[in-house]
Chain A
Amino acid sequence: MTTPDFDRFLRHIWQTEDEEISCTECFDLVPQYVDLELAGQAPASTLPRLKQHLDQCGVCREEYQTLRDLARLEAEGRLPSTDELRNSF
């Protein structure tokens, strides 16, 4: 474990709540969270338990970030086309 990993570990311990939502609950709420965020609202205030889960769960957080960026690019008309994506590998 490197120093940044230890920082993360310590922070995760202290940010632990007695009750936390599951990954399935997170999955169900993330689309709403993303759309609120893209609409310029404050999703962490509306869905604080989801935000807490995203801070704790690396795989759910990666999926949220990917979905958020995908939806943002699409909304801005900057999402690469299917062919462009296919040819990017």
Chain B
Amino acid sequence: MDSRSPRSNAEWLSALRSSGAEQADAITELRAYVLRAALYSLRRSRGNLGRLAPTEVNQLAEDCAQDALLAILQRLDDFRGDSRFTTWAYSFAVNTALVAARREGWKSVPLDKVIDSPRLDEWTAEADRTPADPQRLALQTETLAVIREAIDHHLSARQRQLVKAVFFEGVPLDEIVRHWGSNRNAVYKLLHDARRKLKTHLEERGFGVQETLDLFGVGR
């Protein structure tokens, strides 16, 4: 794919929507682009792929490229032309490969136990930086208590599980989506609603943005 001049967006769309050899050539070329993007994405996510042999990673890349290619061809009409066609196409490969990599990295982790683990007490203890200044320590303790109260009493059980999983345990959203049989939009919305409740609770209790961030040294 490096030997010819790059196709314009219009040329990509025209060729992919044509038939016969012209379309076949374009699909072959597009598949090469997409495979390279999938391989690149998997290489960046090597930490999740430690249990796979090199041949298995290469096969995973082939599978991701194929899935991405099919998605691209099905969604050609969605391409609005506000980016290069190849950037748009790459986004499918990157998404497919990184979702697969996260799946590989987390597949041996029992998410039921992770999500339900009562780690809030540990967290508040760890988050406490025990500063030398007693007044600062008192304010930190008060803030943490308010956040804990909000998590325990103002979030739904599902929101509490989600906040714990994402922020306390570092579980990728994709894995919660898979575990709950949901979709990324729905889980993101659930987390957004949880964040809104926590923010509102802090505001209602008189906490301000900058004072809270400064209190814990966030953003220094």
Contacts and interface: CB of A to CB of B under 8 A. Distances in A.
Interface residues of A, number: 47
A30 to B, nearest CB: 6
B57 A89 contact: yes
A29 B9 CA distance: 17
A5 B90 contact: no
A75 to B, nearest CB: 10
Contact of B91 (A8, A20, A24, A63): A63
B185 A63 contact: no
A34 interface: yes
Contacts of B46: 89
A16 B195 contact: yes
Interface of A: 1-3, 5-14, 16, 18, 20, 22-24, 27-28, 30-32, 34-35, 56-59, 62-63, 66-67, 69-71, 73-74, 79-82, 85-86, 88-89
**Which of B36, B49, B173, B198 has the most chain A CB within a 10 Å cutoff?**
B36
A57 B58 contact: no
Given A11-B213, A27-B95, 12 more contacts: A1-B123, A6-B123, A8-B167, A16-B195, A16-B196, A22-B188, A31-B83, A34-B83, A59-B172, A73-B40, A79-B36, A85-B39
